[in-house]
Amino acid sequence: MKIYFSGSIRGGQQDTNLYAELIQELKQYGTVLTEHIGSKTIDTTISDKEIHDRDVKWVKESDIVIAEVTVPSLGVGYEIGRAIDMNKPIICLYRVLNGKTTSAMIRGCSDLQCFEYSNVAEAKEILKKQLKTT
């Protein structure tokens, strides 16, 4: 299975370590096309267009999209929208922080499976359960 993992990069990298742990978990279910999301280093050698085209290609190639949507990100929202148009299965994970939850546009979309979690162990359990049924 090819997995496209999406998480905020330019919108804020405070969850990079969490992304790395989730990516490591996802590797037991298939190939994660976007392992770089778990890195604190942003590749500045490629243009915005190259990033866009590469990532859209990966979304097309993927069998499933997993998005961590706690940190708001235009890019993640864009990727989710494109994946919906491509009829990809999409799982969104989010935490409630300081009383703030994720967008109603995400949680209210019937094309997505959205799951709230409190810690990485809980997120891994959600992924385990969902990926066994996908």
19 labelled ligand-binding: yes
104 burial (CB, 10 Å; 0-12 / 13-18 / 19+) is exposed
Reference 4, options 60, 66, 54; nearest CA is 66
Instruction: Tell me: is residue 8 an annotated ligand-binding position.
Output: yes
Is 78 strand, coil or helix? Answer: helix
Cα–Cα distances in Å, from 98 out to 7, 23, 102? 19, 25, 12
Residue 110 is labelled as binding a ligand: no
- Ligand-binding annotation for 78, yes or no, is no
Closest by CA to 30, choosing from 58, 56, 63, is: 63
99 assigned ligand-binding residue: no
Q: Do residues 88 and 59 touch, judged by C-beta distance below 8 A? A: yes
Query: Is residue 9 a known part of a binding site?
Result: yes
62 labelled ligand-binding: no
Binding positions: 4-10, 19, 79, 103-105
Binding positions for substrate: 4-10, 19, 79, 103-105
